[in-house]
């Protein structure tokens, strides 16, 4: 099959959506399919922030060996990442697609690139599969959320089949008029580098990072919706009992400056370690230094960083929000109410003080995450694409 992915968020931007479709595409390519990505052009600063080379041709490049066609775009002010672009759906992908001859188009979002996907599906007469990765209202002002939910449903009603990382997201779309067939499909997680550490290895990784006590970890964008502030408030409670505790927070984002100020205000700036962007290899080392993973995002549909924590045998404490309950089994982690830093601190303390519980949950997490391998998820997508193509031919 020839598969064209359209996404408003993609490489080199730090984004879970981009990472997951790149992982899926690489696996499908390995299985003999042809894959292309249509995405916005990004600023040179976005490439520099992730230590990637700016392409000689901003309209076309390769991402891990796979072709990417770039649409002209402009910066979106006040985006959660500070890197987001709005692509202009001017049909500039059509020349490439005419020669590529896609069998199926897979749209990942309902904005500029998503509009290009709608036009391309009509232009080339091929099935349109859609994935809604996130609750759209999490990224818009309160007064516009109802309208955006209706828009979301309207957009995905143009697709032949629609998936989401968790079933409740599709149910919420149906509340606003979504009528097309669909089901939940998990995102894949590329986890070869993320393996459990022995106690001795964990101690060595801590020493390499200059850590001397219990270690908590957050991995992801430092956006407001990620609620890293809740982790810092929980840290302030835990620091009274665990004087050498450290919370590692990776990545960059619009909330970064405010989070650093909060740490100072709460007196835990010396217990915080903001790493900035890390390569996958460095990220693997950080996971192996952590005792517990903490994730209080109120917008995530699955969280690949959570899957990485599980793969390294690290139990988690997550917010009972959006898709996280679907991916936080009781044997591998705890759920607490969104924004409740005291409850978060209580569960973190339990895991830090009970090594047997921590090890038992970590082992269960490692076993649980195997179901999200790229090989297994690619098999699901192959069937979805074949079914969509067959329906289009009937």
Q: 77-109, pLDDT tens digit by residue?
A: 866 666 788 899 999 999 999 999 999 999 999
pLDDT of residue 45: 85
Token reading at 107: 């749209």
State mean pLDDT over 114-142.
91
Q: Is the pLDDT of residue 376 over 60?
A: yes
Q: Is the pLDDT of residue 267 over 90?
A: yes
**Mean model confidence pLDDT for the chain:** 94
- For domain 199-372, give the fold: Rossmann fold (3.40.50)
**Which position has the token pair 């998503």?**
114
Dist CA 388 CA 372 (whole Å): 23
CA dist 90 → 43, 95, 112, 132, 177 (Å): 19, 12, 9, 23, 28
Q: Break the chain into its structural domains and give their ranges.
A: 2-188+373-393, 199-372
Q: What is the band of 52 on the pLDDT scale with cuts at 50, 70, 90?
A: confident
pLDDT of residue 75: 83
Note the CATH architecture for domain 2-188+373-393. 3-Layer(aba) Sandwich (3.40)
Q: Write the pLDDT tens digit of every residue in 141-192.
A: 777 888 899 999 999 999 999 999 999 999 999 999 999 999 999 999 999 9
pLDDT of residue 81: 63
State mean pLDDT over 309-320.
98
pLDDT of residue 74: 86
Dist CA 377 CA 21 (whole Å): 11
Higher pLDDT, 277 or 93: 93
- pTM for the predicted model, two decimal places: 0.87
Q: Nearest CA to 293 among 303, 301, 280, 281?
A: 303
Q: Write the pLDDT tens digit of every residue in 231-252.
A: 999 999 999 999 999 999 999 8
Calculate helix-pair angle for 304-311, 355-368, nearest 10 degrees.
120
> Matching CATH topology for 2-188+373-393 and 199-372?
yes
Q: Is the pLDDT of residue 275 over 70?
A: yes
């Amino acid at each position: 099959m020839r598969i064209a992915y359209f996404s408003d968020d993609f490489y080199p931007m730090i984004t879970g959506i981009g990472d997951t479709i790149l992982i899926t595409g690489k696996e499908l390519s390995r299985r003999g399919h042809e894959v292309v990505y249509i995405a916005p052009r990004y600023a040179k600063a976005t490439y520099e922030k992730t230590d990637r080379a700016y392409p000689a041709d901003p309209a076309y490049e390769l991402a891990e060996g796979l072709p990417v066609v770039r649409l002209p775009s402009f910066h979106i002010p006040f985006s959660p990442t500070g890197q987001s672009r709005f692509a202009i759906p001017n049909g500039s992908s059509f020349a490439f697609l005419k020669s590529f001859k896609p069998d199926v188009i897979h749209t990942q979002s309902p904005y500029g690139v998503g509009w290009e996907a709608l036009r391309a599906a009509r232009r080339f007469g091929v099935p349109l599969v859609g994935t809604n990765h996130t609750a759209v209202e999490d990224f818009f002002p309160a007064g516009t959320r109802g309208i955006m939910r209706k828009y979301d449903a309207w957009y995905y009603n143009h697709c032949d089949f629609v998936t989401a990382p968790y079933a409740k997201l599709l149910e919420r779309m149906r509340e606003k008029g979504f009528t097309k067939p669909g089901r939940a499909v998990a995102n894949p997680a590329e986890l070869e580098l993320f393996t459990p550490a022995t106690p001795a290895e964990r101690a060595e990784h801590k020493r390499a990072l200059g850590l001397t006590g219990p270690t908590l970890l957050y991995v992801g964008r430092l956006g407001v919706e990620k609620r890293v502030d809740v982790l810092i408030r929980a840290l302030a409670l835990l620091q009274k009992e665990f004087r050498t505790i450290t919370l590692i927070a990776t990545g960059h984002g619009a909330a970064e400056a405010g989070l650093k100020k909060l740490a100072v205000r709460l007196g835990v700036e010396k217990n915080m370690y903001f790493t900035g962007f890390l390569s996958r290899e460095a990220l693997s080392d950080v996971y192996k230094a952590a005792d517990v993973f903490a994730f209080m995002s109120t917008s995530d549909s699955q969280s690949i960083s959570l899957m990485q924590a599980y793969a390294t045998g690290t139990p988690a404490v997550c917010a009972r929000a959006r898709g996280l309950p679907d991916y936080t089994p009781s044997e591998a982690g705890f759920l607490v109410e969104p924004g409740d830093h005291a409850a978060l601190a209580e569960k973190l303390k339990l895991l830090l003080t009970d090594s047997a519980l921590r090890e038992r949950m970590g082992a269960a997490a490692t076993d649980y995450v195997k179901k999200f391998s790229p090989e297994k998820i690619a098999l699901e997508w192959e069937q979805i694409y074949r079914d969509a193509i067959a329906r289009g031919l009937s």
